[in-house]
Amino acid sequence: MERQELENRLRNFETLCFVNETDVFEFMFSRINGSLFRVIRNGSFRPNRLTLLEIMQLIELHNLQLEEL
């Protein structure tokens, strides 16, 4: 997925689900406490605030594939 497409979809308040063999990552955009990107990994909400670059790095590092519902 291209960076611009990822950013547009997240900023339109879509929750994007990426998976690999062992993990499920859900990325979302939130305006609570400022505009930021949040992540849920394997059902647990992570306290990290992520940048778009960090999301792209997680996708590449964990070899994640977008799961379309």
Residue indicated by tokens 């306290």: 47
User: Is 11 within 8 Å of 21 (Cβ atoms)?
Assistant: no
Domain enclosing residue 34, as ranges: 3-66
User: Could you read off the pLDDT of 15-67 as tens digits, one per residue?
Assistant: 999 999 999 999 999 887 777 899 999 999 888 888 999 999 999 999 999 99
Pairing of strands 65-66, 16-19: antiparallel
Q: Please indicate, yes or no, whether the overall pTM of this predicted structure exceeds 0.85.
A: yes
Query: In angstroms, how far is CA 34 from the centroid of its own chain?
Result: 17
Q: Into how many domains does the chain fold?
A: 1
